[in-house]
Every structure is written in structure tokens, then in C-alpha cells.
Structure 1
Amino acid sequence: MSIDTSAAPLPGVLGSPGEPWPCQNDPDLWFAESSDRVEAAKQLCRQCPVREVCLEGALARREPWGVWGGEVFERGRVRSGKRGRGRPRKCSVA
């Protein structure tokens, strides 16, 4: 799988011409099913110079799934994180 970044309107965002974005090294990582690989993708996103632009674009396009701008998308929306221990559930358990 490869990601075409040539049409991305990001002039002046990257440090030097040809500098790779973190997602170009292992594109499959951003669409992984294991939680360890998803967390690894999110960690790489935190260091990316275009993270905010990537997230805004994914929200605008309603990306169906994957890690975009450091957030996990599901059905076109950012998936909320796991609930911490001790927090009440949204619905009661029978």
C-alpha cells in the first residue's frame, strides 16, 4: 500500500524537500487491527509536522477508518478513547 501525498496542499510545512512523513515508512501501520500497532501509529503521528492538517483533512473527508492525525477513526468519526477504571458506564448492565 502506498499513500499519494503529491496532491496534499501543504507548502512550507515539511522541513526539507523530500523529507518523508512518518506514515510513508510503513503505511499499513495506520490501518492495523492490533491495538499495539494502532498505538505505535498514534505515537508516530505525535511527532509529525503535518499532524493537525492530516486530522482536519480526515475529519472533512469523513475517513472510514484508520489512524489520521494521531486519532483513531471509525465510520468517519474519531473514536473516543478507552474509559478509565472507576468511570461509570453510559448504559446499565443487566
Structure 2
Amino acid sequence: MTSLLTTFLNPADASADMLPCHDADAADLFFSERPADLEQAKLLCADCPLIQECRQGALDRGEPWGVWGGAIFQDGRIIAVKRGRGRPRKNPLPDADAA
């Protein structure tokens, strides 16, 4: 398990470029504060050949935050959904169609 993961994560190995987390354009999604970005990062992980190894490695290391193996981590644990920053609204926004 670990040897496969380290083989792909070796920067000299061209196969690491195949991993979605190694795409420079998408790298910020995996550690974003915005829940929508994290959901997009989870979708990028869906086709990754190392999804299980990545998730287990993050659990073993107790990763404090980010998307690892298609799961959102917070304080070293997997959470289902990350809430946005701030306090939730008491009243819904007015419907854009009504305006």
C-alpha cells in the first residue's frame, strides 16, 4: 500500500501528473475554505487510482484539514459536509424571480 502511494507521489515520477491533486490549477480546491470548492475537489478524487490509500494515509497521519481520498477532513477526522464560515441566516434571501 505505502510503496504504491510513494511511487506515485515521487516528484520525479511522471505518473504523479495523472493524479488530480497534482494539477496546479486544482491544487487550491483541496484546502479551500469554501464548501463548494471542497465538493469539487471530492469529485476530482472520484476517479483517482489511489483514493483508498490516500484516505487511509490521511487518517493514519491525522491530517488537520483538506480533502484526502475523496473525503473532507477536519481536525483529523472525516466529516460529511463542511459548513460555510459565519452564522447561518435566520431568514432566507428573497427569491431572485420575485424581484
The alignment status of 1:18 with 2:14, answered yes or no, reads yes
Q: Is the 8 A contact 2:35 2:81 kept in 1?
A: no
Matches within 5 A, 1:1-94: 9-10=3-4, 18-19=14-15, 20=17, 21-25=19-23, 26-81=26-81
Using the size of structure 2 for normalisation, the TM-score is 0.64
**Larger-gyration structure (1/2):** 2
Residue 81 (structure 1) shift = 4.0
Q: Unpaired segments of 5 or more residues in structure 2?
A: 83-99
Determine which structure has the larger helix proportion and give its number: 2
- Identity among equivalent pairs (%): 43
C-alpha RMSD of matched pairs (Å): 2.1
Residue 9 (structure 1) shift = 2.4
Q: Unpaired segments of 5 or more residues in structure 1?
A: 1-7, 83-94
Corresponding position of 2:88: none
Please list every run of at least 4 consecutive aligned residues from structure 1 whose deviation after the TM superposition is greater than 2 angstroms. Answer: none
SS of the residue aligned with 1:53?
helix
Using the size of structure 1 for normalisation, the TM-score is 0.67
